[in-house]
Every structure is written in structure tokens, then in C-alpha cells.
């Protein structure tokens, strides 16, 4: 444009050619300088953007202040854009972190699989239950994912795009029953996860189911044998032994003891179910444990069969929040066990005292009852199972001795209801010691 004006001036002879040439040169020089200045500014902007993008943070490399206003505007806009991108990235990061935290802290084990079904991550519960070693390392998690039932459910879920549930049993390191839910993720998770496996351990629930079934079977079995013997004797008395007075009186004595056995079994079953029903409710009354011990010892005196009962208790030993009838039941079961399973004509020591703390005892004030005998003791491997219903160290002998096999189960439930603790200590050949700790103010 300025050049065109020069040419016009020259044509109309307003300026001389020499002046025109000078003016043209000046104009070209100024234009080149301006263009160079622009280019430098844009170059600086480009450099700043390149550094920022290389460092992955648009705000990390400050622009070297361009001097041209137009370029300065572009710089401002870019900065604003960078800030809003940064804010959005931060928000996305926060959402992703929240997502990961929820998954991580869910109480159920959870495994996220990627596109090719390799495990991407396992949450804390899954790592706790199945270890941290993945498929390639051949860890427990790998074994779980290779389980045919689970692999089939994963394939079905991917093929059908719908959640699939399957049950599996893991044989090692301990047998576990697991229910696995395979949930396909569409769209995929932020980390690329295409499938989520939620696992729940049903081992305990299955064990409870099995125990219930076992219990019914055991109870029926325990009742059936005395009943069968009663029926047998009734038939004999009606037939072959009808006129045999001596046999009749012998059989009747046996029948009476079998009927007695059935009665005590039914009594124990009933009291066990009653105690279980109220187990969640702590008792409200109070009791004097010393008086209860003296009363129980007096009650078993006729059946000690030569054994000596040695009682060491203070004058009174009040227990608050206690059910006196149930505590008597505990005492009777433990004393009867010591007499029944201890040494014939042996020594049974019954002690009770206040305690504040002690080895294996809660660190609170309480009372400690102990019933110790000098009998054969109990092999170690049986001790943890003694409180199971119908569990006996020697089934045949236990039954013959007249026990129902429910005594210690009843003791355990009563102690639980009193928020106390039952401790069983025994060395083979050194007798057994049953301790009951109850809270007391």
C-alpha cells in the first residue's frame, strides 16, 4: 500500500525518483523488521507451548512475555485454556481416585479384569484373602482366576454382556466355598477394566448349615439308641420273659435308666435352645457365686462315688448381671464332668475369687471360677472342639458314662450370654482345669 502511494506520487511527479527509491527502501526495511519481530514473538509462544506440553503441565513453563499486544492476547487466552484444562484434569483425577478408593475399601473381595481378562487390580479384601501374587506368578489369585467354573462365568459374562453368578470351592490352602459374580463393564472403567468379579465367602454360612444338619442327625441318633433299647425290652417282657420275675426286675431297671437318659437329653436340648434364644440379651439379675457353689457341691455330694470335693471360696462373691439358675447349670456341668471324666475317687478342686487381670484373662475386674480334677486330662487336639454339641473325646465311653455330650455346649452359651469367657487347660495325664471368667464391678 505505501509502495502503491509512492508509485502514484512518482507518476504525478510529486516526488523525485531518488526520493521515491529511498522511501521504498525505508518501507521495506520497516516491514521486514516488523515481520521479524512478529515471528520472534510467535516463536517464543510456540517454544513455551512446546516446553509446557513436553512437561505435561501447561502452567509449568511461564511464557517469556511477548511484546506485541496481539500475541499477548493469544498468550492470555492460551493461559486461560491451560488453567481450565488443568482444573478439569484435577477433577478427573479426583473422581478416579474416589472411584479407586471405593473399590479398594469395599468389604467384599473384588477383582478387575482388563480387555484380555488379565487381572488389572484386586482390592484390599481380595489381596487379604487371596494374596497379592497374580496369575503369572501362580499365586492364589491366579489359581482362583483359573478355576474352570469362574473362567466359564467370565467368558459367559463377556459373550452375553450380562452379569453371571457362579459357585466354586477352593481346595487350598483351606477349603472355602465362594460365590463369584462376574459383571461386565460397558463403558469400561477409567483404568480400562472390562469386567469386575465380586467374591463372597460362604464358607461360614455353609458350615452353619452343615452344623444344623449334623445337629439334627446327632440328636436323632442319640435319642434313637435308648428308644430302640426300650422297645427291645418291652418286646422281651411281653414275650419270652413274661413270667420271669427276676429278668423283669433287671430289665425294668435298665429301662428306667434308658428312659432317664432320654429325659436328660431332652432336658439338655431344651435348655440349650432356650439359652441360645436369649444369648444376645445379657442377664439382668445378680447372684452370689460363693453361695451357688456351696449349694451345687451339696447337691452332688450323693453321687461323688468316693471323690473328694475341695472348695475354696470367699464368704460371698457377688456377680452382677447374672442369671443364678444358669450359673448353677454351669457349676453342675463342670463339677459333674470332673467327677465323670476325672479320676475315679479322685480330687476335685473348686475355687472362685475376684480377679483384676491375669494371663489369658480380660483386663477388667471379674470373678474367676475354676474346676480342676486330677483325671486323665484331655488331648490337646480335642480341646478347641469340646464345646461343640455332642462332641466327646471318647464317644463310646462318654455315652456309657451317662453324659449327653451337650454339657459344655450349654456352659459355653451361658458364659457367652454373661459376656464372660471359658478357658480349658489340660495336660495329658495331669488332669483338666475348666475356668470361667465373669465380668464383675
Which residues contact ligand ADP (rule: CB under 6 A)? 333, 337-338, 340-342, 373, 375, 378, 386, 391-394, 398, 403-409, 432
Q: Tell me the longest C-alpha to C-alpha distance in the chain.
A: 167
Quick one: 194 or 417, whose CB is closer to ligand ADP? 417
Q: What is the DSSP string of 245-290?
A: HHHHHHHHHHHHHHHHHHHHHHHHHHHHHHHHHHTTS---SEEEHH
Which residue in the shown chain puts its C-beta closest to ligand ADP?
A: 403
Q: Which of 123, 166, 329, 337 binds Mg ion (CB under 5 A)?
A: 337
In whole angstroms, how close is the CB of 405 to Mg ion at the nearest point? 7
With a CB cutoff of 8 Å and minimum separation 6, the contacts of 362 are 421, 437, 439
Task: Please give the Cα distance from 330 to 421 (Å, whole number).
Answer: 12
In whole angstroms, how close is the CB of 368 to ligand ADP at the nearest point? 17
With a CB cutoff of 8 Å and minimum separation 6, the contacts of 43 are none
Tell me which residues in 385-424 interact with Mg ion (CB under 5 A).
403, 407
- Which three cell numbers mark 98? 474416589
With a CB cutoff of 8 Å and minimum separation 6, the contacts of 18 are none
In whole angstroms, how close is the CB of 311 to ligand ADP at the nearest point? 17
**Ramachandran region, residue 274 (left: φ > 0; alpha: ψ -120 to 50; beta: rest):** alpha
The beta strand positions in 47-117, using DSSP E, are 110-113
In whole angstroms, how close is the CB of 405 to ligand ADP at the nearest point? 4
Quick one: 193 or 405, whose CB is closer to ligand ADP? 405
Quick one: 37 or 391, whose CB is closer to ligand ADP? 391
- Interface pattern 251-290 for Mg ion (x via CB under 5 A): ----------------------------------------
In whole angstroms, how close is the CB of 383 to ligand ADP at the nearest point? 9
In whole angstroms, how close is the CB of 301 to ligand ADP at the nearest point? 18
H or E element at residue 200: strand 195-201
Quick one: 1 or 400, whose CB is closer to ligand ADP? 400
List interacting residues with Mg ion (CB under 5 A). 337, 403, 407
Amino acid at each position: 500500500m505505501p509502495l502503491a502511494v509512492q508509485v502514484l506520487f512518482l507518476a504525478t511527479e510529486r516526488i523525485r525518483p531518488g526520493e521515491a527509491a529511498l522511501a521504498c527502501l525505508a518501507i521495506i526495511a520497516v516491514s521486514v523488521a516488523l515481520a521479524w519481530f512478529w515471528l520472534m514473538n510467535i516463536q517464543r509462544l510456540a517454544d513455551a507451548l512446546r516446553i509446557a506440553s513436553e512437561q505435561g503441565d501447561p502452567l509449568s513453563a511461564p511464557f517469556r512475555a511477548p511484546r506485541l499486544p496481539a500475541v499477548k492476547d493469544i498468550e492470555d487466552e492460551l493461559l486461560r485454556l491451560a488453567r481450565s484444562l488443568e482444573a478439569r484434569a484435577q477433577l478427573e483425577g479426583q473422581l478416579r481416585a474416589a472411584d479407586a478408593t471405593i473399590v479398594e475399601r469395599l468389604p467384599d473381595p473384588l477383582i478387575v479384569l482388563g480387555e484380555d481378562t488379565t487381572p488389572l487390580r484386586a482390592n484390599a479384601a481380595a489381596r487379604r484373602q487371596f494374596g497379592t501374587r497374580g496369575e503369572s506368578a501362580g499365586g492364589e489369585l491366579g489359581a482362583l482366576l483359573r478355576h474352570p467354573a469362574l473362567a466359564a462365568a467370565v467368558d459367559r459374562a463377556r459373550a452375553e454382556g450380562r452379569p453371571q453368578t457362579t459357585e466354586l470351592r477352593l481346595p487350598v490352602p483351606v477349603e472355602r466355598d465362594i460365590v463369584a459374580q462376574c459383571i461386565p463393564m460397558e463403558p469400561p472403567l477409567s483404568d480400562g477394566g472390562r469386567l469386575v468379579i465380586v467374591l463372597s465367602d460362604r464358607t461360614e454360612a455353609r458350615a452353619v448349615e452343615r452344623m444344623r444338619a449334623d445337629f439334627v442327625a446327632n440328636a436323632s441318633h442319640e435319642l434313637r439308641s435308648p428308644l430302640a433299647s426300650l422297645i427291645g425290652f418291652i418286646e422281651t417282657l411281653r414275650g419270652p420273659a413274661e413270667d420271669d420275675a427276676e429278668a423283669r426286675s433287671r430289665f425294668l431297671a435298665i429301662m428306667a435308666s434308658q428312659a432317664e437318659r432320654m429325659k436328660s437329653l431332652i432336658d439338655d436340648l431344651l435348655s440349650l435352645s432356650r439359652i441360645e434364644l436369649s444369648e444376645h440379651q445379657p442377664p439382668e439379675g445378680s447372684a452370689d457365686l460363693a453361695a451357688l457353689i456351696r449349694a451345687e457341691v451339696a447337691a452332688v455330694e450323693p453321687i461323688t462315688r468316693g471323690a473328694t470335693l475341695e472348695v475354696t471360696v470367699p464368704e460371698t462373691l457377688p456377680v452382677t448381671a447374672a442369671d443364678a439358675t444358669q450359673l448353677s447349670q454351669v457349676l453342675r456341668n463342670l463339677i459333674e464332668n470332673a467327677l465323670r471324666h476325672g479320676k475315679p475317687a479322685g480330687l476335685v478342686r473348686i475355687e472362685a475369687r475376684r480377679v483384676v487381670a491375669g494371663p489369658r484373662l480380660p483386663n477388667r475386674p471379674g470373678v474367676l471360677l475354676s474346676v480342676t480334677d486330677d483325671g486323665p486330662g484331655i488331648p490337646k487336639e480335642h480341646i478347641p472342639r469340646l464345646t461343640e454339641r455332642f462332641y466327646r473325646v471318647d464317644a463310646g465311653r462318654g455315652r456309657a458314662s451317662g453324659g449327653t455330650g451337650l454339657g459344655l455346649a450349654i456352659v459355653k452359651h451361658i458364659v457367652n450370654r454373661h459376656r464372660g469367657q471359658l478357658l480349658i487347660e489340660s495336660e495329658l495325664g495331669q488332669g483338666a482345669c475348666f475356668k470361667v471368667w465373669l465380668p464383675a464391678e
